[in-house]
Amino acid sequence: MSRESARAVIAQALSQGRTNLTADEAGEICRAYGLPLPAERVATDAATAADAAREVGYPVALKVLSSQITHKSDAGAIALGLSDDAAVREAYGRIVASARAYDPSATIDGVLVQQMARPGREVIIGAVTDPTFGKVVMFGLGGIFVETFKDVTFALAPTSPARASEMLGEIQGAAILQGVRGEKPADLAAIADVIQAVSQLVTDLPEIDELDLNPVIAYEDGVLAVDARIALRTSEHNGRPRPPRDEILASMRRIMMPKAIAVIGASNEEGKIGYSVVRNILDGGYQGQLYPVNPRGGEIQGLPAYTSVTEIPGEVDVAVFAVPAARVAAAVDEAGQKGVAGAILIPSGFAEIGEQQLQDDMIAVARKHNIRVMGPNIYGYYYTPANLCATFCTPYTERGTVALSSQSGGVGMAIIGFSRSHNMGVSAIVGLGNKSDLDEDDLIEYYGEDPNTDVIAMHVEDIKDGRAFVDAASRVSKQKPIVVLKAGRTAYGARAAASHTGALAGTDRIYDAALREAGVVRARTLEDLLDWSRALSMLPAPKGENVLIVTGAGGSGVLLSDSCSDYGLTLMEVPDDLGLQYKELIPPFGAYGNPIDITGGEPPETYRKAIRLALMDDRVHSLILGYWHTIITPPMVFARLLGEALEEAKAAGKVKPVVASLVGDVEVEEACRYLEERGVPAYAYAAERPVAALAAKYRWARQAGKLG
Amino acid sequence: MSRESARAVIAQALSQGRTNLTADEAGEICRAYGLPLPAERVATDAATAADAAREVGYPVALKVLSSQITHKSDAGAIALGLSDDAAVREAYGRIVASARAYDPSATIDGVLVQQMARPGREVIIGAVTDPTFGKVVMFGLGGIFVETFKDVTFALAPTSPARASEMLGEIQGAAILQGVRGEKPADLAAIADVIQAVSQLVTDLPEIDELDLNPVIAYEDGVLAVDARIALRTSEHNGRPRPPRDEILASMRRIMMPKAIAVIGASNEEGKIGYSVVRNILDGGYQGQLYPVNPRGGEIQGLPAYTSVTEIPGEVDVAVFAVPAARVAAAVDEAGQKGVAGAILIPSGFAEIGEQQLQDDMIAVARKHNIRVMGPNIYGYYYTPANLCATFCTPYTERGTVALSSQSGGVGMAIIGFSRSHNMGVSAIVGLGNKSDLDEDDLIEYYGEDPNTDVIAMHVEDIKDGRAFVDAASRVSKQKPIVVLKAGRTAYGARAAASHTGALAGTDRIYDAALREAGVVRARTLEDLLDWSRALSMLPAPKGENVLIVTGAGGSGVLLSDSCSDYGLTLMEVPDDLGLQYKELIPPFGAYGNPIDITGGEPPETYRKAIRLALMDDRVHSLILGYWHTIITPPMVFARLLGEALEEAKAAGKVKPVVASLVGDVEVEEACRYLEERGVPAYAYAAERPVAALAAKYRWARQAGKLG
């Protein structure tokens, strides 16, 4: 049976106004994709049913074929475990009669005679259509496992063969398929083949909304998909238009590095947004042309004002809007006539308060002119390499290499405060708000080629186009870490998100799978988003998995070890020769395994030598330091000697990630700041956060293939 | 069969040098405790085996009885599923022959004829002897579930009936027993009865090291324990001596509020520990008598020195030791002659470096004199109500109500630094080090009745006497929160702990169960231990589960909601009348569900009214505030209005926990400090930590029965 016939089956069902396919139809489609369904025949009387049963082999099941009867068990339209001709003949009459009684109006197309499966390990393989990411394939243990333990995993469809195989290991009960208690493994390759085929099937046939193979029975040799159900979709998935990559980049370059900016609704009146935006652009030190636009003309904050953007003499790259929502569309139209690349829509009053039509109309105008729209309902954006503060918040000038975006203004302000107070330099902060057009994927494309950006950090409430996001992120994350905080990942959070922006609450496990495939480092909290972004920008990439802990406090060593276990870091087995060098260095009651415990009473020289050993040895890929405040080695003495050791190692070409936990009296805070300025994420009174920060770097490095 | 006969079975096995009991012996013991084992008979020839089979009812299993053959399957000494007399007679001969061939030297005592169980849901019920907590009972799903998903839960033995029932709901697969897919529930009461009986059995019979009922088959009506295995222990569990509670309290009072202190090894030489201790006691402002002791006599830091503690004229409550390890035992002896209550052993060089004998000898001397020993290998201790800094660290005088202890000096220093820099007032900081004698349970007894202490926080690497800890903690935690950070909870951490102090790595799940039963709020990280301790001391107890989020930033609301879900807090359904009041207060595009989103552009009055509504309404039990920094309501304006609203509510008798998340520019940090001084745990750039802090209070309040 060909794949074209599968299309025909779907077309016929839809033409009949049906979205549920019969078992026969579902089976036909699955067989067209080579899925291992039981052998079966259709029979229209008791005698041919018995013939068919002998052909497929006993025992068999009989199922009434009727598109109107979907719950066949309830209708008594199924007979199982029939083992001879007489039983088949008897069952035929019985289930047809039962189906007729259940629904006298149903058309009965005959009876399916189906080979029954031997017992084996049951799994479920299915596919759904996610509103954000489209076709997604699911795999898990079948039966009560899937219901009770929800032990399933997802992947974007279509999967690669490697990804399909990987899924088998991602469920909690993976060992059951690999064989427990001396049992032989199930045919893992055959299961992976089914996953891949299902993912291809739903990709080829987008009209399929959901597909369930449940159970698929896995044997030591082969698998059998006992039951297939398929539901079709009536509505089309509306992808948003996405310009070609070179167009995205061309627009983004003009937006982030504009030669000229117009402020629509510029004002001389303090407290107005149109005032703050002009003020901030000026105070931020922007060097390009700035054109205030106000119908009254005159002078605004010392600059000549234009009555319309079209009156401006030179070219304009960006227009920042500070006019009421109702006037935005007309103003965008004027900006379009002027050839503006980007419209920055600070105003609120659009989709977030239910005015979807107003927003759609505005976007239609922008599309006509090829204008990219940021917002609406945002604080604006910052780009520090251009000294650009196009926002009604405060000027912000702490340059660095982290580019952040947020869907919420509150989170945007948290980014500003945190970065100022925690030594996190920033290249860009962008408010995305309603994301009527410009989206995370556009930013990722730009940051990917932006020499001023090394790390990309995003607060996301919903992703508008999941596939575009995964496409852009999976390319760029190979070069630059992308950290994402997906808000609304719990039922409570999704409820709040829905009342906030009307964003569709995505199923979090699908988000999780998609973000992983995109190579994203996923942060669970705002704290982690901010802290990890900072650490990712400070730390060099590790060259391997070997992590060494060197500590002055045994107690810290234990806590740091616990965190390494929690965050999936590998404490290296210290090679004998290195262990011996440590043994010579530290008191007999210290420890020279991993952690290396140099003990608390040691002078600076012991710390220095212990650190140097770790930095200079190429077998140590990352270093976690646990410092204990003592009178003999005070905090700043430790911080300085570590700084020197790092310089020395760097001069010798030895660069590796180093993080530090400092426990002690308040002086350790100063030492932390000193170390942060030298590229060491350092934390006072903390043993988890330095490890979590290093682990974020590892999560990125692993997926980017940096560990060799 | 009586419980005495169970003892006899054990005594006989031990007298024969056996620690593995036969199935028959295990069955005898289990039956003595009313455990539902299959009906069975012993037969010594084929004919009586067939008689027995008829008595217990077909189908039956036959098992060769031999204490030497423990793996009966391997020996071919089992026959299953026999359904008539002929099969039983045939099987009898076959399995006896097979057992003889397997081990010709084994004594065969006959064959057990056993009723075979109908299929049902399989669970496992067992008991082990934990080195820290003694007898512990385990419950979980049986078969591959227990092996693959490790879906089990533990409780201290003996359990109450309520606790046993509770365990059924603690496993991930609880629904399987409650019935999935229309299946009826298993006999939950019968399962709980078995758990409880097993827990009583191992408590009564401490010689039992491990007991396994696996599987126990659960039916809709009744259960059947198909297989029982029992292993005995040869070594005794050595509990440490524990004085009666009034003696503990009498000693602790003298130690924490001493009228006179001697410093053994006091010194005039800066840099020496004996110098620092005297200096700190003086600088800390201690008002009692201070007696430096040094064999050279003379004057030390302005005080007359005594050549021996016995030379001191008045009574001495506490002796702080700053002499080398080798001289400690003799000095303790002298202190004992003087009638000292507590010996504070700062010196290291004992068990932590393998000198267990030196430590044991010292403790023997102390016990002789009834001296309680703190340490050795510690930084000393602080008790701020007595201005007491008996330590070689720095004086510490930030008074408050949190009493902390740590097993590690590094963690002790972290406590000092954190409390100073984060507004956490402290009543006591105690170093416990090797815990040769004084232990967490002694401290808990004291803090429980200490009017200066409201919250108890402990860093623990190992608990020396698990039962004493649970006993003290479960009493005191009803009145005062106890937070515990158990270090070494992962395999990595336990490895580091073992190299650090030689502490036995307890199985973490047993620790988890025991700490829960003790009413302890368990912290997973140092960060949480410190932060939660502070919050627990700031926050009043909530009166119910209804948590309300009021936020100025919708984005914060989503993140706070996610955290509430993560930490098990209940977002209340806002009553209609309250919702309407909020609706009148906030802009139409705000949200008046939960979170209440007052939106970002609102003036201080909106915040004030929104907060007041929540504080004054008794249906709201706790309040989480999400503040967003705007020009209209700057951070300190928000902080002050919140402070005023709290005062006003307090005056009206409305007291409830309030925590705050502040996002914005750096000014929010000052606002957080202001709020912390007014009893509101407040966090900048953070949405998880305020929720985690409130959740810690809830975890305590729930177990203490404060929520009614």
CATH of domain B540-703: 3.40.50.261
| Structure letter (DSSP) for residue B19 | -
Task: Say whether B564 and A172 touch across the interface (CB within 8 A).
Answer: no
pLDDT at residue B599, as a whole number: 86
Per-residue pLDDT band for B501 (boundaries 50, 70, 90) equals: very low
3-state secondary structure of A523: strand
CB proximity A665 to B under 8 Å? yes
Tokens representing residue A428 in the block: 């860009």
Contacts of B90 (CB under 8 A, 6+ apart): none
> Does the pLDDT at position A295 exceed 60?
yes
Task: Say whether B666 and A420 touch across the interface (CB within 8 A).
Answer: yes
CB proximity A370 to B under 8 Å? no
Task: Say whether A496 and B561 touch across the interface (CB within 8 A).
Answer: yes
Chain A residue closest in CA terms to B598:
A500
Q: Evaluate whether the domain defined by B398-538 bears CATH number 3.40.50.261.
A: yes
Architecture of the domain whose range is A121-232: 2-Layer Sandwich (3.30)
The ranges of chain A annotated as CATH 3.40.50.261 are 398-538, 541-703
- Residue whose tokens read 């005794």: B236
pLDDT at residue B409, as a whole number: 86
The ranges of chain B annotated as CATH 3.40.50.261 are 398-538, 540-703
Mean pLDDT for chain B? Answer: 92
List own/partner pairs for B645-650 with CB under 8 A and 24 or more apart.
B645/B608, B645/B611, B645/B612, B645/B615, B646/B615, B646/B678, B646/B679, B646/B680, B648/B612, B648/B615, B649/B612, B649/B615, B649/B616
> Does the pLDDT at position A285 exceed 90?
yes
Selecting from B497, B558, B669 the residue whose C-beta is nearest the C-beta of A493 gives B558
CATH class of A541-703: alpha beta
Distance CA B399, CA B454 (A): 12
> Does the pLDDT at position B627 exceed 90?
yes
Segment A97-111 mean pLDDT: 92
- Residue A121: φ, ψ to 5°: -80, 130
Q: Does residue B4 or residue A344 have the better pLDDT?
A: A344
Selecting from A410, A485, A687 the residue whose C-beta is nearest the C-beta of B600 gives A410
Residues in chain A: 708
Q: How far is the alpha carbon of A408 from chain B, nearest alpha carbon, in Å?
A: 5
Segment A406-431 mean pLDDT: 92
| Structure letter (DSSP) for residue B67 | T
Q: Evaluate whether the domain defined by A263-378 bears CATH number 1.10.600.10.
A: no
Superfamily of domain B3-115: ATP-grasp fold, A domain (3.30.1490.20)
> Does the pLDDT at position B503 exceed 60?
no
Task: Say whether B410 and A689 touch across the interface (CB within 8 A).
Answer: no
Mark which residues 144-163 of A lie under 8 Å from B by CB.
144, 147-149
Contact yes or no for B153/B170 (Cβ under 8 A): yes
CB proximity A183 to B under 8 Å? no
Q: Residue A682 belongs to what H/E stretch? A: strand A682-684
Mean pLDDT for chain A? Answer: 92
Per-residue pLDDT band for B308 (boundaries 50, 70, 90) equals: very high
Per-residue pLDDT band for A503 (boundaries 50, 70, 90) equals: very low
CATH of domain A39-115: 3.30.1490.20
- Tens-digit pLDDT profile for residues A122-131: 999 999 988 8
CB proximity A492 to B under 8 Å? yes
CB proximity A460 to B under 8 Å? no
Task: Say whether A669 and B417 touch across the interface (CB within 8 A).
Answer: yes
Task: Say whether B558 and A600 touch across the interface (CB within 8 A).
Answer: no
> Does the pLDDT at position B505 exceed 50?
no
Residues of B in contact with A409 (CB under 8 A): 553, 555, 600, 628
Distance CA B492, CA B30 (A): 38
> Does the pLDDT at position A62 exceed 50?
yes
The ranges of chain A annotated as CATH 3.30.470.20 are 121-232
Q: Does residue A159 or residue A602 have the better pLDDT?
A: A159
Alpha helices in A259-388, H assignment, sequence order = 273-283, 325-338, 356-368
Task: Say whether A493 and B418 touch across the interface (CB within 8 A).
Answer: no
C-alpha dihedral over A176, A180, A185, A190, to 10 degrees?
A: -10
Largest CA distance in chain A: 100
Contact yes or no for A223/A216 (Cβ under 8 A): yes
pLDDT at residue A119, as a whole number: 86
Residues of A in contact with B74 (CB under 8 A): none
Q: Determine which of B424, B559, B572, B592 to mutate to test the interface with A (most A C-beta atoms within 10 Å).
A: B559
Q: Determine which of B420, B462, B561, B625 to mutate to test the interface with A (most A C-beta atoms within 10 Å).
A: B561
> Does the pLDDT at position A246 exceed 90?
yes
Residues of B in contact with A178 (CB under 8 A): none
The alpha carbon of A527 is separated from its chain's Cα centroid by a whole number of angstroms, namely 18
> Does the pLDDT at position A501 exceed 50?
no
CB proximity A565 to B under 8 Å? yes
CB proximity A348 to B under 8 Å? yes
Task: Say whether A501 and B595 touch across the interface (CB within 8 A).
Answer: no
- Residue whose tokens read 């994301």: A435
Task: Say whether A496 and B689 touch across the interface (CB within 8 A).
Answer: no
Selecting from A493, A556, A565 the residue whose C-beta is nearest the C-beta of B565 gives A493
Distance CA B420, CA B438 (A): 27
CB proximity A663 to B under 8 Å? yes
Distance CA A393, CA A373 (A): 20
Residues of B in contact with A552 (CB under 8 A): 410
Per-residue pLDDT band for B265 (boundaries 50, 70, 90) equals: very high
Selecting from A181, A553, A689 the residue whose C-beta is nearest the C-beta of B527 gives A689
Segment A154-175 mean pLDDT: 94
Per-residue pLDDT band for A239 (boundaries 50, 70, 90) equals: low
The ranges of chain A annotated as CATH 3.30.1490.20 are 39-115
Selecting from B496, B557, B689 the residue whose C-beta is nearest the C-beta of A500 gives B557
Residues of B in contact with A687 (CB under 8 A): 525-527
Residues of A in contact with B626 (CB under 8 A): 410
What 3 state SS string does A133-179 have? CEEEEEEEECCHHHHHHCCEEEEECCCCHHHHHHHHHHCCCHHHHHC
Q: In Å, what is the CA distance from B175 to each residue of A39, A215, B162, B190, B610?
A: 35, 20, 19, 17, 41
Segment A14-29 mean pLDDT: 91
The ranges of chain A annotated as CATH 3.40.50.720 are 263-378
> Does the pLDDT at position B301 exceed 90?
yes
ipTM metric: 0.91
Query: Which amino acid, one-letter code, is at A422?
Result: H
Alpha helices in A154-272, H assignment, sequence order = 161-170, 174-178, 188-204, 245-256
Distance CA A610, CA A628 (A): 14
Per-residue pLDDT band for B237 (boundaries 50, 70, 90) equals: low
Superfamily of domain B245-377: NAD(P)-binding Rossmann-like Domain (3.40.50.720)
Q: Determine which of A492, A546, A665 to mutate to test the interface with B (most B C-beta atoms within 10 Å).
A: A492
Burial class of residue A71 in the structure, from the number of CB atoms within 10 Å of its CB (0-12 exposed, 13-18 middle, 19+ buried)? exposed
Task: Say whether B558 and A686 touch across the interface (CB within 8 A).
Answer: no
> Does the pLDDT at position A500 exceed 50?
no
Tokens representing residue B638 in the block: 């928000």
Burial class of residue A374 in the structure, from the number of CB atoms within 10 Å of its CB (0-12 exposed, 13-18 middle, 19+ buried)? buried
What is the arrangement of strands in the sheet containing A521-523, beginning at the earlier edge strand?
A: A388-391, A380-383, A426-431, A399-406, A455-460, A482-486, A521-523
Q: Determine which of A407, A685, A689 to mutate to test the interface with B (most B C-beta atoms within 10 Å).
A: A685
A554-566 vs B491-501: helix crossing angle, rounded to 10: 170
pLDDT at residue B113, as a whole number: 93
